[in-house]
């Protein structure tokens, strides 16, 4: 399986590679397509809606996911959030903010060779649980951290 | 046309650290302007980073990513002097690609 993947990686990049992977049944079409944008997931209002649209309705809670963020964010418009996964075979990392108008903030696909750790900045409308969703070997895992916001980042 | 991105890529111990600062409004579509009209959503949806033609990171973003987005990640390999390319596409179809040499 792993050998197969090396072979497909060598066989071609970009769309060709994704088509090959999809054909081999490793990923479902639209699952990790770079040019794609998961409209349903980003427009899902609640965390549950977003998870469902990503095909992750019941992720297991994992202690191997670290959310790097301050407990209190002074400015909700710019909240630095980093997520690091120690789960082997991590394929993607997503950041969801429970109480935002749309929960899903960002989703990162990590090809083999890219470290399962990303950092970005997000907006938070109010104090909320922040979830990190990790996909590893086709399974979903989740961790959460509450970030308190003293000044909201929506509408300001 | 949007302003260029600031990309910094440094290689250390076989690992390349990439930091990207983009210039974009990241308008959520929920904010109202002075006259009470909703400001239309305008935000980056897709970000792709490539090294030697190979994708090292691809991301999908929603409007909840902060204005002038920041992104940091690491990948294995990457030679000093080689170029890393980053491309973003927003919901209006605007696109920008910038590159930087790994140092």
Contact B32 A118 (CB under 8 A): no
Q: Encode pLDDT of B21-30 as tens digits.
A: 999 999 999 9
**Short-list B59, B57, B73, B81, CA closest to B15:** B73
**What is the C-alpha to C-alpha distance for residues A69 and A66, in angstroms, rounded to an integer?**
9
Supply the pLDDT for residue A36.
82
What pLDDT, in 10s, does the model give residues A124-153?
999 999 999 999 999 999 999 999 998 766
DSSP for B2-70?
PPPPEEEEEEETTEEEEEEE-----B-S--B-TTSPBPPPB-EEEEEEEETTEEEEEEEE-TTBPSS-E
- A43, containing H or E segment: helix A39-43
Q: Which of B46, B54, B75 sits opposite A35 (nearest CB)?
A: B46
Does the pLDDT value for residue A123 go beyond 70? yes
Contacts of A113 in chain B (CB under 8 A): 56, 75-77
Measure the CA angle with vertex A141, ends A135 and A146; round to 5°.
120
| Cβ proximity of A106 and B58 under 8 Å | no
Please tell me the distance in Å from B18's CA to the nearest CA on chain A: 10
CB neighbours (10 Å) of residue B73?
24
Between chains, do B64 and A122 touch, taking CB under 8 Å as contact? Answer: yes
pLDDT at A151: 72
Would an 8 Å CB–CB cutoff place B33 in contact with chain A?
no
At residue B96's C-alpha, the angle toward residues A29 and B87, to 5°, is 45
Q: What is the mean pLDDT of residues B68-96?
A: 95
Asked if B78 is an interface residue toward chain A (Cβ–Cβ < 8 A), one would say no
Q: What is the DSSP string of A92-117?
A: EEEEEETTSSSSEEEEEE--TTEEEE
Nearest-Cα distance to chain A for B61, in Å, is: 4
Going by C-beta distance under 8 Å and a sequence separation of 6 or more, which residues neighbour residue A74? A150, A151
CA distance A123 to chain B (A): 5
3-state DSSP call for residue B90? strand
> Which tens digit of pLDDT belongs to each residue from A18-75?
454 444 444 444 434 445 899 999 999 999 999 999 999 789 999 999 999 999 998 9
Q: Do B73 and A117 touch (CB under 8 A)?
A: yes
Please indicate if any CB of chain A lies within 8 Å of the CB of B37. Answer: no
Percent pLDDT > 70 in chain B is 99
């Amino acid at each position: 399986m792993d050998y197969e993947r090396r072979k497909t990686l060598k066989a071609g990049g970009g769309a060709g590679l994704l088509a090959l992977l999809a054909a081999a049944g490793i990923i479902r079409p639209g699952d990790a397509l770079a040019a794609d944008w998961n409209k349903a997931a980003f427009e899902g209002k609640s965390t549950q809606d977003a998870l469902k649209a990503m095909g992750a309705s019941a992720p297991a809670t994992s202690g191997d996911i670290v959310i790097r963020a301050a407990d209190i964010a002074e400015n909700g418009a710019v909240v630095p959030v980093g997520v690091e996964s120690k789960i082997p075979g991590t394929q993607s990392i997503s950041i969801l903010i429970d109480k935002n108008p749309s929960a899903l903030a960002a989703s990162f696909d990590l090809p083999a060779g890219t470290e399962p750790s990303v950092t970005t900045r997000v907006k938070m409308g109010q104090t909320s649980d922040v979830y990190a969703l990790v996909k590893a070997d086709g399974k979903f895992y989740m961790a959460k951290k509450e970030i308190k916001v003293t000044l909201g980042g929506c509408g300001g | 046309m949007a302003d260029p991105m600031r990309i910094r890529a440094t290689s250390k111990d076989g690992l390349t650290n990439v930091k990207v600062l983009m210039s974009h409004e990241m308008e959520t579509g929920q904010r109202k302007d002075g006259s009470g009209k909703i400001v239309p959503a305008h935000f980056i949806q897709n970000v792709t980073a490539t090294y030697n033609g190979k994708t090292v990171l691809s991301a999908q973003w929603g409007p909840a990513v902060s204005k002038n987005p920041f992104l940091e990640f690491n990948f294995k390999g990457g030679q000093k002097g080689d170029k890393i390319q980053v491309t973003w596409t927003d919901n209006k179809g605007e696109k920008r690609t910038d590159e930087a040499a790994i140092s």
